[in-house]
Amino acid sequence: MKNIYLDNAATTPILPEIIDTISTTMATVYGNPSSTHQIGRKARALVETARKNIAKYFNASANEIVFTAGGSEADNLILRNAVVNLGVTTIISSKIEHHAVLHTIENLVKEFDIVVKWVDLNEKGEINYTHLKELLQEDTSKKMVSLMYINNEIGNILNLKLVSDLCLQNKALFHSDTVQGVGHFKIDIQKTPIDFFVASAHKFHGPKGVGFAYIKKGYGIFPILHGGEQERGARAGTENVHSILGMEKALQIAYTNLDKEVIYIQNLKNYFVKELKSNFQGIEFNGVSEDEFKSSYIILNVRFPKEYAMLLFNLDMKGIAVSGGSACQSGSHKGSHVLHTILSKNDALKTSVRFSFSKLNTKEEIDYVIKNLKEILK
């Protein structure tokens, strides 16, 4: 049986070069970066070099990068600090954000006297930027806008520059969950001055359990994990040295070959769209995931014309790994909150599948998926 992995929005395979980096670091750099002896200093030097190199990809400063255990922790760190330490009393967000943002906001509402305003979306899940502007101008409260760059389920791309400009004009902070963007799209915070964004290494062929928060210089950040003074006091706990170096290597590889790989993966996605349309009547695409200019080249969310209760299971039995929604909801019977928000009741009952691609996929794999879909659905 073949193994066809088309769930790269959930996580990506670790590249061999990154495994080598991690293994070598684990074997040779065992010092605690907080120790003052030379073995500890060696570890500290490598962590700080990685921080500096990672910052360069975003035209940021090294002291604006805080290493975390991943995107969810980074989102929590930023949102909680916005309310507790930066005086934010109004958060503007959308109902199709990742749960790392939605559940954090939900808990902040329970703990503090803050207001949450939801920006309007159309049936494709696109932000109504006019409504966002209206929300920003409604009152004089201290505001933060929290909108994700790339939606992890439907692939919609946020206009970061437009939102950034609106926030600047209205003196609001801007946080973006960029987990699906870092390593796949170029972000220059000098051209697009986002105040806060986040990354998770396993989304761009790096290790799981490590990521970072970008926190614009000048914003004091207090820890949500208490203990030592690591990460300049922003995040307690001994740094995960080998994973940080693995993340640095993964970003290096991602951005070195990015232009060529974008074209390759987009062509794969376009080919898949063409084959789906020519082989299956009634196929539709959730969000704007079919549109190569408005959606991520990695994500395609396909809505079949009716409910196929066992489709994901049958694909899995053929060795094809895909997702019915966000992988972070696996084990939940609630289904995709994103699709339930944007689709009509009738369309939400139909079977939707998220296919997500990487540079490791091939045209032959797409053909295999189409062949098996035809057999399963006939």
Tell me the catalytic residues.
Answer: 328
CA atoms within 13 A on the CB side of 245: 21
Per-residue tokens: 309:
């209760």
Give the residue from 364, 369, 275 showing the smallest Cα distance to 321.
Answer: 369
The Cα 306–Cα 329 span in angstroms is: 22
The Cα 153–Cα 377 span in angstroms is: 23
Using alpha carbons only, what angle is made at residue 376 by residues 375 and 378, rounded to the nearest 5 degrees?
65
Instruction: Output the CA–CA distances (angstroms, integers) from residue 359 to 92, 167, 269, in the order listed.
Output: 35, 35, 11
The Cα 158–Cα 101 span in angstroms is: 16
The Cα 244–Cα 239 span in angstroms is: 8
The Cα 305–Cα 285 span in angstroms is: 11
User: Are 43 and 29 contacting, i.e. CB atoms less than 8 angstroms apart?
Assistant: yes
Which amino acid is present at 223? P
SS3 317: helix
SS3 185: strand
User: Are 202 and 12 contacting, i.e. CB atoms less than 8 angstroms apart?
Assistant: yes
Per-residue tokens: 100:
């790392």
